[in-house]
Amino acid sequence: MSTNLTQLPVHLHNIEEAAELLAPIIEKTQVEHSRALSEQLGSEVFLKCENLQRSGSFKVRGAYVRMAKLSETEKARGVVAASAGNHAQGVALAAASLGIKARIYMPLGAALPKIAATRSRGAEVVLHGVTVDEALAEAKRYADETGAVFVHPFDNPDIIMGQGTIGLEILEQVPEVDTIIAGVGGGGLLAGIAVAVRGMEAKTGRKIRIIGVQAENAAAYPPSLAADALVPLQRVSTIADGIAVGRPGQLPFSIIKQLVDDVHTVTEDDIARALIFLMERNKLVVEPAGSVPVAAVMDAALQETYGDLGTTVCVLSGGNIDPMLMLKVIQRGLSAAGRYLTIKMMLTDRPGELTTISSIISSLDANVTGVDHTRVGGALSMGDVSITIDMETKGSEHCQQVLAALQDAGYEPIVVY
């Protein structure tokens, strides 16, 4: 990939200056080797643990750089931002460190732990709208009305500089890296890492592959890159709320289209599987948006495209996950891995039916964890029963064995999860 780095809106020296500014504020998060992922990929895989960063994500890096550069007059006016969680906490922490008053707009559906964490850092939290876009619009209105400085989550040079410091740390901690994979929402993180890495490439002459990852149901970058213009999505729906952005940032897009090798997409099931994998095999709590790079590594399609990725670093961008969401994601991830199965069936309401079904399931060593037995409902005829069964299973093949056995016995199970 060839481009004129001098014409970019952010440069390597900007990121190096940002690193000096951040040194007393942030954690230089560790890089963990993942034996399990390395065995799966066939080459060394390392995890850059921004989930262990102060405030629980990388966002504090960009927020602090942006706010530290404000004039005293601007600082006195305060700052305003909008976020569903990570940017909110990053701005709140940065504002507290700099003695700046912060007002954060969060959508009504924001997770309670994220709201509480933002307030605990001294920021004023205002719940507004049902989407981040609505909260963002209100934050901009407030900035125009009061003169408070609006701190954008990704579409700002200082934000990109701060996030790019992760790229410098990766090159220092894993100098032999061949591929860096990071999640993409608006694009500030990926753009910053790309500027840092490409800038260092110009000094060392060593080529490094950079891949962004988006959730399939919030993937605005692939169509935008194909059109060479910002293409907003009509609908965004993903468990990875940290990258649920329907329109790329103009500034990050201008960098990513020149410096990044590819933007890969992963499914909701891929994300859930990766989150559980990180929890079980690496003992790391990572939010869905932070697990998308690992989801990509576990996706055979990525290896089919690139072959040997070489020494790979996955950026785990955050670890702020609502416990209620975690329960749902774990259930989905176990289901995707064939370790949890929920089925629904219509039965004749007669004695012994449930015993027969239980006997079939137990004979295949599946463990029933829940049963819902309903005789009343608009779709039920007199004499019919609707039954939903939750069970622990041992993989996709085991699930198919259970389903086949029920079908052979004359039942018609429908898979719910």
Identify the active-site residue in 48, 59, 114, 257.
59
Residue type, 145: E
67 touches 100 (CB < 8 A): yes
Report the C-alpha gap between 193 and 259 in whole angstroms: 10
Report the C-alpha gap between 6 and 287 in whole angstroms: 35
DSSP for 99-121, written as a single string: T--EEEEE-TTS-HHHHHHHHHT
DSSP for 30-83, written as a single string: -EEE-HHHHHHHTS-EEEEEGGGSGGGBTHHHHHHHHHHTS-HHHHHH-EEEE-
Is 83 an annotated catalytic residue? no
User: How far from 403 is each of 9, 109, 178, 289, 368, CA to CA, in Å?
Assistant: 57, 37, 44, 33, 14
- DSSP letter at 318? B
Alpha-carbon torsion angle 26, 99, 82, 276, nearest 10: 30
Identify the active-site residue in 57, 83, 224, 317.
317
Q: Find all residues with CB under 8 Å of 76, minimum gap 6, and list them.
A: none
Is 317 an annotated catalytic residue? yes
Cα dihedral 164, 167, 169, 172 sign: negative
Catalytic residues: 59, 317
